[in-house]
Structure 1
Amino acid sequence: MRFVCRRLLLFAGALVGLSLLVFALLRILPGDVAAVVAGTNATAEQLASLRSQMGLDKSYAAQYGDWIVGLLHGDLGTSVVSGKAVAAQVSSHASVTFPLIVFSLLIALAIGLPLGCAAVLTRNARLRGVFHVIAIVAGAVPALWGGLLLILLFSKGSGLLGLLPSQGFPDAGWSAPLSALAALMLPALATGITAGASIMRYTRAAVGDVASSQAVDMAMACGMTRRQAVLRVALRLATPQLVSVIGLTFAQMVTGVMVVENLFALPGLGSMLVTDVGNRDLVAVQSELFLLAAFFLFLGLLVDLLHRALDPRLKNATVGSGEVLA
């Protein structure tokens, strides 16, 4: 419990520091938000009234305090451009982004774990070389370029096979689940293949190290075949390392997915953030950036706790697993 409490306190402190950083960085950007919203023909009186309405006439400390109080009450503010609640906008766009991230991770796991274990189990030197080349080539292909190749091959209208849509998301959203899944298939493949190659390399390295240890020899001495010993013993012992890798890969996929969203014209968090930054929507951008960064911190905390729970050797450690990995 002391370890959990310590990690939660560090997490809370990191959130406070993160909020200060986001707030300060957005305030030093050039330009006047009120002038952007009011337009070029606005008078000085109109600008002053708008600044007062948006709270920009207050001190930075007061602005920060108002923002934090709103966050604690679940109020992310109101967009000065669209006039809509930022929380509602984030929720609407997250319904596209997070299913896409989960879908991409499932594809990455379906590729990385089996191929990584197969690379350890095979005794054929040529086949091991093939697995090695696959991991290097697939991992070196940027998700954006991979998405373009998938569009040329599988998209309806312009692709060679014309199987899947390549642009947009259905207006009905998840009320039409098959259409929604079809719209996410190509972007999920573009992100998942690259992440799967990374997971494959880590799986091969982690399971391969355990496969040459005494634990696997003991399992084989007890009557298991090498395949059974690797899949039942080595893979289980390598699970704590793989959980850390998968957690970090999941966090990295968030940024990768945001790039891919623009390629496939998906109304996700990436397109929303780019639009709000371009519009100088300060209220929306600071809340969106804070939520995304807080999500990264939460993933790190979750991986840290899972790693410690899965690896009994860390119970008496004086540092967290994230510090051990660093």
Structure 2
Amino acid sequence: MKFTLQRLGLLVVALAVVSVLIFAAIRVLPGDVAAVMAGMNASPARIAALRAELGLDEPLVVQYLSWLKGVVTGDFGTSMLTGQPIAAIVAGRAAVTFPLILLGLAIALVLGISLGCAAVLARRCWVRSLLQAIAVVGGAVPALWAGLLLILLLGSGTGVLSVLPTQGFPQDGWASPGRALTCLVLPALTVGIIVGASIMRYTRSALLDVETNGDVIALAMACGMTRRRAMVTVGLRLATPQLVSVVGLTFAEMITGVMVVENLFALPGIGTGLVTDIGQRDLIAVQGELLMLAAFFLVVGFAVDVAHRTLDPRLERAA
């Protein structure tokens, strides 16, 4: 409990520091923020009106405290382009991005853990070498290139098999779950194959570490288990804390990693939306979106720390 409260306190402090950095980064952009948002041909009257509307004529401390008060109450501001609440816009985009990440992560776990175990348990040297080569090549393939290959192989209308859609997302979102899920299959495969290669390497390394740096596997085999069963039932369980850390951090990194994939498959997710808002100079929306992304990264890190401590009692005893 003490560890959890300490981590929770650090999470709150980190969020406060990040909010200051994001607020300052938007304010130190070259030129006037209102002038940037209003556009190159805006009149001085329009810029002055926008400054007053956004509260940019107030002192910076007052601006920050006003924004922070809104963030605490769930009000991240209003988009200057659409007039919609930024929280609602991000929630709609998250309904595309997070299912994509979860589906891609599920594919990555199935591929990574199974092939990682196979790379350790394979008896033939050439099989182990082949699996290691697959892990290296899979992790080195750019997401854009992998997505294009999958489109050429499975894309509807353009691919060899022509079975899956390659562009867009249903207008009614998850009201049509079958169509929505089908639209995410190819992007999730793109993400899953690349991330799965990394998880495969971590799984193989963790299992070999359990086997070589202890007598647990030998003791399990002395109790009558085969090496395969000992590695899968005992070794994989002991390697779980390491894999949880890797998967948790990978999950957080995939938020920004799917940006290329979302643009390639024309998905209206967080990555695509953030790029669009930056290009259209909707800086207030960008400010809120960056804070939400940073908060997500920090919350995932907090959850990984707590889960790691729970799964590995040795950390508690060492403390």
Match of 2:281 in 1: 280
Root-mean-square deviation (Å): 1.3
Give the Cα separation in 2 of the matches to 1:14 and 1:42.
Answer: 38
- Within 5 A, what are the aligned runs for 1:57-136? 57-136=57-136
Give the Cα separation in 2 of the matches to 1:248 and 1:42.
Answer: 44
2:37 and 2:283 in contact (8 A); partners too:
no
**Higher deviation after alignment, 115-124 or 26-35:** 26-35
Match of 2:2 in 1: 2
Return closer, same or farther for 1:222/1:65 CA change in 2, 3 Å cut-off: same
Match of 1:13 in 2: 13
- Within 5 A, what are the aligned runs for 1:259-270? 259-270=260-271
Return closer, same or farther for 1:112/1:42 CA change in 2, 3 Å cut-off: closer
SS at match of 1:316: helix
Deviation at 1:40, TM superposition (A): 4.9
2:139 and 2:195 in contact (8 A); partners too:
yes
Unpaired stretches in structure 1, ≥5 consecutive residues? 319-326
Match of 2:159 in 1: 159
2:234 is matched by which residue type in structure 1? V
Give the Cα separation in 1 of the matches to 2:303 and 2:198.
Answer: 20
Deviation at 1:316, TM superposition (A): 3.3
**Higher deviation after alignment, 99-108 or 153-162:** 153-162
Deviation at 1:145, TM superposition (A): 1.2
CA deviation vs aligned residue, 1:159-211 (integer Å, no higher than 9, x gap): 22211111100112111111111110111111110100000000001012213
Return closer, same or farther for 1:39/1:237 CA change in 2, 3 Å cut-off: closer
1:33 and 1:281 in contact (8 A); partners too:
no
- Within 5 A, what are the aligned runs for 1:31-46? 31-40=31-40, 42-46=42-46
- Within 5 A, what are the aligned runs for 1:47-66? 47-66=47-66
Deviation at 1:32, TM superposition (A): 3.5
Give the Cα separation in 2 of the matches to 1:42 and 1:114.
Answer: 58
Give the Cα separation in 1 of the matches to 2:311 and 2:304.
Answer: 10
* Total equivalences in the alignment: 318
**Higher deviation after alignment, 171-180 or 190-199:** 171-180
Return closer, same or farther for 1:43/1:205 CA change in 2, 3 Å cut-off: closer
Percentage identity across aligned positions?
59
1:4 is matched by which residue type in structure 2? T
Deviation at 1:50, TM superposition (A): 2.1
2:104 and 2:191 in contact (8 A); partners too:
yes
1:7 and 1:301 in contact (8 A); partners too:
yes
Match of 1:209 in 2: 209
Deviation at 1:34, TM superposition (A): 2.9
Match of 2:243 in 1: 242
1:36 and 1:279 in contact (8 A); partners too:
no
- Taking structure 2 as the reference length, the TM-score comes to 0.96
Give the Cα separation in 2 of the matches to 1:229 and 1:156.
Answer: 44
Deviation at 1:17, TM superposition (A): 0.5
- Taking structure 1 as the reference length, the TM-score comes to 0.94
1:207 and 1:230 in contact (8 A); partners too:
yes
1:164 and 1:186 in contact (8 A); partners too:
yes
2:165 is matched by which residue type in structure 1? P
1:33 and 1:280 in contact (8 A); partners too:
no
Match of 2:315 in 1: 314
- The answer as to 2:25 corresponding to 1:25 is yes
Unpaired stretches in structure 2, ≥5 consecutive residues? none
Deviation at 1:240, TM superposition (A): 0.6
SS at match of 1:314: helix
SS at match of 1:271: helix
SS at match of 1:89: helix
SS at match of 2:258: helix
- The answer as to 2:225 corresponding to 1:224 is yes
SS at match of 1:234: helix
Give the Cα separation in 1 of the matches to 2:163 and 2:57.
Answer: 55
